[in-house]
Structure 1
């Protein structure tokens, strides 16, 4: 399953929280209003109670005239107020009346056509509710004009019946606006808050095996993510310390091995010529090359910024001269080709000599002691070492570059040679390729990134 988006998880939860909060708020306000209405503390007298009761009860009879249905509110109003009076009329001349209109309002009752809406009081200076109301209202019988006295109070259910309208007209738009604001603002806020985390991720992508002492920045990381970044930095510190211990061990081991290897080489050189001496000389040379490469890797790891111009032709020529006697003794011929006299790259000459020496040594060990070992330097910045052996199967060409991986499990060597060559080439920004020679043997290729144009 795909991981859920943090942004939209926050959006959904914030929108849900807002909706739940507003709903609870509405319920609490409603409950409080009901309680206050029941004890009579919220609303006292309501001047429009009679008019509302008549408006809800007015209907048309079969002849199209006006009549009142006997609603519970109307029955209660008649029972409580024996002096109830009203005049109900429409624009078509139909009229319905009940009770005696007070004499003070009779002149108004006769000119209702000229009155749209009015509040009628006995004394205009009084602050009490009016004694009568005149108003045009919309009913189930159409638009009706009502003139009536003001009796009764606001019913609790009539007060609450406006709640759905209040929700639709006020609360619902607020919920919609808040939800839209959440949908728009939350992704922006999250992106701003996660800017520091994006920088941490970008820095983490640049961490490589050749870089040590790297720490992820904490200055712009949200405080909730800080423990994770600190844990990663602590893990990087532990890895650096482990790498340093490993590097020191290899360096110390290489230093300790050089003396016994030198003694062994001297003793082998004093033996009488023969196949056994040749095998011993090859083994001693391989040990010496490995120890030298380990020391070079340590030195390069500490001073990779001191690279200088290196002539690949000179490096290859020197390695061929050094290892030609060993190759001849093992039954090979040596060949050296160059496309130019000077082909320059930026690097460490000693380390490159070690890497090429290892490739030639590898060809001597696995070339089946027949044919020619060819060393070729091209103008494109490549050094090729090819033999006439059995070659490397295509499905194993990547695997033999791994440490302690050998093509033949019972073969000689520890399986570190090609891995060390690959490490040296990575330090130089290049790579090693395993290919097939025209003769069917193996062809190892050191590929450098760029030739120095000044040479």
Structure 2
């Protein structure tokens, strides 16, 4: 199923505004013409009806003389106007006439050469709009001719439609073009200004992250039409915050409740006689304790970002090795510690870094094959490496092992949270953790910290 393309609000508004303007202008023109037609202004008061019919009917015969073609409009004009009269002449002296010119206008026949255009009334005091006669030069099929005649004719519907079409083409369309151009320029500015508050809300939404709670989108400058959506998003964020807080409290309470029975179990296991069973039970108890600590550490992560202090990576690594060495020895490993400098200071949370390094060493104990050496190395460049001599990590799995609950083997020990917790801790400190090639051909996990504050040999 093909996804629908996103539609631009700007172009939707421009398109609909242009359609509205076109419809409105067309409707207005139709109403005006209809009103003029209905009131008789275009029919009864139109003075050029006779001239229009004669202009379209005049032509020349084979000898070049003026003649009138028998058009339908001419026949209708003669039927409706029993007193029809006219004189048609050209500049070459050809002349065509019908009936006698009324005596009131007869004196003008001798001076037509000096008349370009005239409206003639018998009574000077008339107030109606249509005159008694017209004199006008017109372009016709016979060339330029002068028509002198009465005003008995009326405007035809066809001529009205033609005139309206020409007016629409030369008046309305240019006006619509200017209005569309104005809409194209103004609408984006109006939309951009109206959506300023929505843009600020979107920018705030982009800053929302998993480790930020209590954030809400601003609604003050959001358009009224969009405000319900922003309010619904804020309500959803509130429900998510409440759900996260319930989840966090449950994990913290569960982890705290687990630590006491685990400590009691470990104490009782220590009192057992030495042997393989005791070793395996102690390892299982250590993993349970680590898991409880991991659950608590995950809840502490987002509270430590602004409370970093200077910590010594060498001292932390040495302390973790000393704490876990007995467990490694009991599992069949040797432990090695190497530091390129005596003091390596970075900004961070000591408890979190200790937990991350403990997880890496614990991971090496669980998956190192129970033989060889587990080496912890602190480099002056600002990294800590933990390597073993086990089967190693396949290249295609080196990114996925940091996913929560991801284990290389279905029968692997642990809950699959340790490496994910290390990744979160390093991300919180501005660094990263990665699986790299090891000289021992086993697994090697490297914690890389941001630029150092102080390193002493």
Same structural fold, with TM-score higher than 0.5 when normalized by the shorter chain: yes
Q: Give distance in 2, aligned partners of 1:42 and 1:113.
A: 31
Shift of 1:18: 3.2
Q: Give distance in 1, aligned partners of 2:182 and 2:380.
A: 64
- 1:61 paired residue number: 61
Change in CA separation of 1:424 and 1:80 when aligned onto 2, cut-off 3 Å: closer
Change in CA separation of 1:338 and 1:454 when aligned onto 2, cut-off 3 Å: closer
How do residues 5-404 of structure 1 correspond to structure 2 at under 5 angstroms? 5-6=7-8, 7-34=10-37, 36=38, 40=40, 43-128=43-128, 129-404=130-405
Change in CA separation of 1:96 and 1:266 when aligned onto 2, cut-off 3 Å: same
Q: Give distance in 1, aligned partners of 2:31 and 2:133.
A: 36
Q: Give distance in 2, aligned partners of 1:343 and 1:434.
A: 22
Change in CA separation of 1:27 and 1:150 when aligned onto 2, cut-off 3 Å: closer
Q: Give distance in 1, aligned partners of 2:455 and 2:91.
A: 106
Q: Give distance in 2, aligned partners of 1:82 and 1:27.
A: 34
Shift of 1:140: 1.4
Q: Give distance in 1, aligned partners of 2:400 and 2:170.
A: 72
Q: Give distance in 2, aligned partners of 1:189 and 1:171.
A: 25
- Deviations along 1:26-71, one digit per CA (max 9) or x if unpaired, are 444455454x16xx47653433333223222211111111111233
Instruction: Determine helix, strand or coil for the equivalent of 1:340.
Output: coil
Decide whether the 8 Å contact of 1:247 with 1:298 is kept in 2: yes
- 2:446 paired residue number: 445
Change in CA separation of 1:15 and 1:121 when aligned onto 2, cut-off 3 Å: closer
Q: Give distance in 2, aligned partners of 1:198 and 1:132.
A: 70
Q: Give distance in 2, aligned partners of 1:361 and 1:80.
A: 114
Decide whether the 8 Å contact of 2:380 with 2:455 is kept in 1: no
TM-score normalised to the size of structure 1? 0.91
Q: Give distance in 2, aligned partners of 1:33 and 1:149.
A: 23
Decide whether the 8 Å contact of 2:78 with 2:84 is kept in 1: yes
Change in CA separation of 1:311 and 1:68 when aligned onto 2, cut-off 3 Å: same
Q: Give distance in 2, aligned partners of 1:190 and 1:439.
A: 64
Decide whether the 8 Å contact of 1:293 with 1:355 is kept in 2: no
Shift of 1:383: 0.9
Q: Give distance in 2, aligned partners of 1:392 and 1:46.
A: 98
Change in CA separation of 1:81 and 1:237 when aligned onto 2, cut-off 3 Å: closer
Can you give the 5+ residue segments of structure 1 that lack an aligned partner in the other structure?
A: none
- 2:433 paired residue number: 432
Shift of 1:82: 4.5
Pairing 1:422–2:423 present: yes
- Deviations along 1:134-165, one digit per CA (max 9) or x if unpaired, are 21111111111122233344445544441211
Q: Give distance in 2, aligned partners of 1:361 and 1:83.
A: 121
Q: Give distance in 1, aligned partners of 2:42 and 2:134.
A: 23
Q: Give distance in 2, aligned partners of 1:84 and 1:402.
A: 101
Change in CA separation of 1:161 and 1:436 when aligned onto 2, cut-off 3 Å: closer
Instruction: Determine helix, strand or coil for the equivalent of 1:343.
Output: strand
TM-score normalised to the size of structure 2? 0.90
Instruction: Determine helix, strand or coil for the equivalent of 1:111.
Output: helix
Decide whether the 8 Å contact of 1:83 with 1:100 is kept in 2: no
Q: Give distance in 1, aligned partners of 2:48 and 2:297.
A: 101
Deviates more, 1:282-291 or 1:439-448: 282-291
Shift of 1:288: 2.4
